[in-house]
Each structure stands twice: as structure tokens, then as C-alpha cells.
Amino acid sequence: MSNFHTKFFSIKVLRILLVVFFVVFYAQNTHAATFSRNLKIGLYGDDVRQLQILLNSNPNTLVSQFGAGSPGQETGYFGPATRRAVISFQEMYSLETLSPVGLTRGTGFVGPLTINKLNSLQTGSAGLSEPISRAVPGSFSKLPIEEQIDIYKTDSTLGKIREDLISKINIGLANRTNPNIDFSSYKIRENSVFIRDISTQQGPAGTRVQISGNGFLSVGNDVYLGKEYMAKNIASDGNGLNITVPNIKAGRYDLVVTNTGGISNSVVFVVTDEKTRPVSISSISPSSVGYGDKLTIRGSGFSTTSNELFTNFGRFKNIVSSDGVSMEFKFEPDGMGGINKLGKSGKVIPVELYLINENGITDQASRFDFNI
Amino acid sequence: MNIFKIKKFRIVTVLISIHLLVSVMLVNKVQAAGLPFGGLEVFMLPCTCTGGAFQWHVFAPLFLGGAPTVGALAAPSTPLTYMYYYLKIKSWALGFYTPGAGSVCLFGVTPYCWVLPNEGLILPNTGTSPA
């Protein structure tokens, strides 16, 4: 009797355990394969609700910020708001959801490619650089090559103005005639977008950066970190645009803002990590130079090939440092070569310089004198 | 009738005096603080024929209160008051200037000196952004 009871009890426990096992197994697999049918506007269903929950887990793909459809209030109805969120989702993961079929813009239709991406995010097996649930406002995504733009378009335009002025000055000096500078031939569009300032120029992934400028829109500003990374549709809060530095390879990136006003000028941002060596300048010699003289700069954190000095006389790029602690460069500022040929004026102009490379930016100016 | 005329004359005189006083005060205030400007520096030259005390800074865009233009301002060769001190290529300057300093910047080497056109003279209470 006792044996019977024990056996009966054991079988009962075994059955319960089996039921629990199958329920858990089924639940896990059902959750992992939530999306199996194509979804489009007008449909109802649990899968639509699951889709909305997933879209709402990322601030950049919210179905709705408030009320029906917002996080916790998913409806299960695929309406216009869900369609818009799906479009954002598809554009965020365009490499996997749009590019394979030759599309660059989201469609709002959840077909096989989008389903695959949704399912991979549900199971967490996609090997994403940034899990969607960890994304924060202003987060960046990597752009496929076909969606990358020329982020230096405005820099090039401004560079041409500069080159034109230098050319006129040099011709004037060579001919000993007035260069006759006339600014009226250069035009700037009224609604152009420009970056004035950023709150910090270097920092690791996760650093919050505020960008201030002219021509920012209340919504619809895209921020690029280099041509590969873009944070889409950033709103301006009145003080500027706020972004969070993404988890990308440490190094130097040029940051621009784009909107319907065009592409802004670029500013430098250096993404640092634990291997980054701080950049500093300990000495510049000699302390006073003429046009074309060689300067030796010593310090630490110098790049092998990509040091850039920015000064009140212009920028000096691609200066090499074989040992990482010293470098030499000839000081030949634009427009001053012609003056040098005419003769010495006997004047001394102070020069202030900062060093930028993939390790960062010097935090204070170094100085030397320029004898002209 | 005459008394009325005299009163009217006095009132007008007082009003004109007040207007002149306020105008002078406002002009003095503008001259002391300068007019606001902002812009992205694209080029710079020292005013070599004007003792090196001034520099010629070209901005694109240059905001002087209206639509953006391309233009230049002269600036003293001394450091500016606020952060990043000297104006630098590709940095954004924001501050004040005094209009009408047209011939303050002469460029070249004597006797070959030419005026570099500018909108005015940047005042020291100007700041620059990093680049």
C-alpha cells in the first residue's frame, strides 16, 4: 500500500513536471517565433500587439508617445501609427530589411525580411551591435554604403571661398596690386544649417553631447558621426540637439547636422576608450619662427600619421610622429607666402594652437610667435 | 493766447530735450557694448601694414543682425576675453563689434599696402567655440 502510494505519487509528480516542462518550452518557443504572417495596415491580432510592444521598446520606433498604442497601451490594431513606427524600424535596420530588395525607404509593410529581423530581436540571437531595448533617444545606427552622404559638402563650399580669397591675395601680392576683395559674389542661403558649438569634443560611448547651432528645426534633424553613423530625427529642445555617443570604434569622427536646410559645417568629436592615450603638448621650439621655419612639438599621445594642428592661422593636417612623442612641421600659413617674398614687416603675431588626432584634443592652447 | 503758445513751446522744448538725452544715452550704450555678431571663421590674415596690432577675419556665414552673408571684421591681435581666446579657422565667434573701422586693416609690406575690406572692429568681449 505504501509502495502503491509512493509509486502513484511519483507518477503524479512526474506528470506535473512534464506538463510544466512542456508549458515552459512552448511558451518560450511561442515567444521566440512571435511573427509568422505578413502584417499590414488594417489587421488585428496578438502578433500585432507583440509587434507594437517590440516597437515601443525603442524610443526611436515608438508607436505612440501617449494614449492608445503607447508603451503599456498596445492595442493589437495595425493602424497608421503602427505603420509609421514600422517604417522607422525598417529604416533603422535598413541593411537587413530594405537593402536586400533594393529599397532605401521603409514601406510600413511587415514582410519576410522585416519578420526575420523582428524574430531575431525577439530571440536576441541577431548579434546586434546595440540591443534594441538598450537604445536611448538620439541613438545612432550604422548606415549602409548606399545611404551614406557627403558630409563635407558645406565644408567644401566654405573651403572654396577660402581658396578663392587666398588666390586673390596671392595674385595681388605677386603683381603688387590691390587684391580687390569683393564679398558680394559669395552667397549663403538664409535657412542654412550651421553648428556653432558642441558641449564636449571627446568622450567614451555613452557621453551626452549637446550641439548648438543655427538653422536647427524643432524636429527632423539628423546627426552624423562620420558618414557611417546617423541618429535620425533628433528634436531641438531650444538649446540645441542632444545626442548620446554610440558604442563605436574609438577614434576621430567629424560630426554634422542635416535637415531640410542642408548639411552643416563639420566639427570634430573624438570617441575614446580605455586604450586611448591622452593628448598633450609639453613644449614647442623654437618659441619664435618666421614663414617656412620648422617647429618641433613634443608631448604625448601623438598619432603616427594623422595629427592635425588648428591655429589662428589655419589648419595643418596629416603631420607625422614616428615616436608618438614628437613631431616636426613647417609653418607656412596660407596667404603669408607672398608677404614673405615682398619682405619682412618686422611684426610679431602670437600663434595659438591645439592638437587633434584619434586620441583626442589638447585641453589647453600652446603658443609661439610668428615673425612676419 | 500768448500764454498758451509759451506753454506749448515749453512742453515741446522739454520733450525734445528728453528725446536728445535718451538718444545720447542709447548711442553711448551701443558704442560701449558694440553691436552683436556671430560667424564661422574661414580665413585670417594679419594687418601687416597697420603695425600688426589688428587681424582680418573672414566669416562665412557672418550674422550681423539680418540674413547671413560672407564678410570680414577686423580684430585686435590680443586674446579675446572668453574661452578659446584667439579666433581660429573653423571656430565660431560670437560677440560684439564696432561698425565703421574700414581702414583699420592694411595688408602688404610698405610701400605696397592695401585696405582689406571689413564691416567693423571686433571688441574684446567676444568668445569663440572649439573647432
Q: For the segment A68-88, what is each residue's pLDDT rounded down to a tens digit?
A: 887 788 888 989 889 989 988
Chain A residues within 8 A of B73 when measuring between CB atoms = none
Beta bridge partners of B36: B96
In Å, how far are A208, A290, A292, B37 from A358, measured between CA atoms? Answer: 19, 29, 27, 33
Is A4 near chain B, with CB under 8 Å? no
pLDDT top residue among B80 and A358? A358
Closest chain B C-alpha to A127 CA, distance in angstroms: 36
In the prediction, which pLDDT does B33 show? 65
Cα–Cα distance, B46 to B88 (Å, whole number)? 13
Give me the DSSP letters along A192-226.
--EEEEES-SEE-TT-EEEEEEES--SS-EEEEET
| Cα A286 from chain centroid (whole Å) | 39
In the prediction, which pLDDT does A128 show? 30
Contact A165 B51 (CB under 8 A): no
| ipTM score of complex | 0.73
pLDDT top residue among A129 and A143? A143
| Cα A192 from chain centroid (whole Å) | 20
pLDDT digits (tens, 9 = 90+) for A304-313: 999 999 888 8
**Cell triple for A291:** 614663414
In the prediction, which pLDDT does A272 show? 93
Task: Reply yes or no on whether the pLDDT at B130 is more than 60.
Answer: no
Lowest mean pLDDT among A178-187, A297-306, B82-91: B82-91
pLDDT digits (tens, 9 = 90+) for B39-98: 999 998 888 888 767 889 999 999 998 889 999 999 887 665 544 545 666 788 888 899
Chain A residues within 8 A of B61 when measuring between CB atoms = 188, 192, 194, 214
pLDDT digits (tens, 9 = 90+) for A241-267: 999 999 999 999 999 999 998 999 999
In the prediction, which pLDDT does A326 show? 96
Global model pTM greater than 0.80: no
